[in-house]
């Protein structure tokens, strides 16, 4: 591998290393501080459950979709509608760069999911939430977190 290739690889690895994997209670506390408990009628446990099943609590998670869009961050926010990336056209309804959703500071992620859940679909916008969290007893997601 040449010097340029090595430099590119190191740069890519350093970008990937900027994310954070939250613990369950750490995320619950951060989301509570961000006003998510009860937001649009959804308990804090719903948001923690969603983050676990979409990203494993990893802020640097990126998922590719068949339509060419990608999902970004701890809540897997879609580039086709909610954030702007270089690969796909977007409505960018959250007015945020998708790349900005991959760092440990999830304030912009919280602001964006607040926007997403205001749409008529609510949390049903996330298939993972529908499959794993909807109509479930979610108390375990915030249990023993001292909130």
Domains of the chain: 20-141 (1.10.530.10)
Residue 50: pLDDT band by 50, 70, 90 thresholds? very high
Mean pLDDT over 27-51 rounds to 98
The CA-to-CA distance between both ends of the chain, in Å, stands at 50
- Check whether 65 has a pLDDT greater than 50: yes
For residues 24-47, one letter each, b for 16 or more C-beta atoms within 10 angstroms of the residue's C-beta and e for the rest, the string is bbebbbbbbebebbebeebbbbbb
| Nearest C-alpha neighbor of 115 from the set 104, 101, 136 | 101
Q: Are 9 and 1 in contact (CB under 8 A)?
A: yes
Residue 17: pLDDT band by 50, 70, 90 thresholds? low
Taking only the tens place, the pLDDT of each residue in 68-120 is 999 999 999 999 999 999 988 899 999 999 999 999 999 999 999 999 999 99
CA angle 92, 97, 100 (to 5 degrees): 140
* Residue 132 DSSP label: H
Distance separating alpha carbons of residues 27 and 74, to the nearest angstrom? 10
Going through 32-93 in order, the beta strands assigned E by DSSP cover 62-64, 70-72, 77-78
Say whether pTM exceeds 0.75: yes
Distance separating alpha carbons of residues 126 and 7, to the nearest angstrom? 37
- Check whether 14 has a pLDDT greater than 80: no
Helix (H, G, I), strand (E, B) or coil at 129: helix
Strand partners, 58: 21
């Amino acid at each position: 591998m040449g010097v340029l290739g090595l430099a590119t690889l190191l740069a890519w690895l350093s970008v990937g290393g900027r994310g954070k994997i939250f613990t369950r209670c750490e995320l619950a506390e951060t989301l509570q501080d961000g006003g998510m408990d009860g937001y649009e009628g959804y308990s804090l446990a719903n948001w923690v459950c969603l983050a676990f099943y979409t990203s494993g609590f990893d802020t640097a998670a990126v998922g590719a979709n068949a339509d060419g869009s990608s999902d970004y961050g701890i809540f897997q926010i879609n580039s086709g509608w909610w954030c702007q990336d270089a690969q796909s056209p977007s409505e960018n309804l959250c007015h945020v760069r998708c790349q900005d959703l991959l760092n440990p500071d999830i304030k912009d992620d919280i602001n964006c999911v607040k926007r997403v859940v205001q749409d008529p679909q609510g949390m049903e916008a996330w298939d993972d939430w529908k499959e794993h969290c909807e109509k479930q007893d979610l108390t375990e997601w915030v249990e023993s977190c001292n909130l």
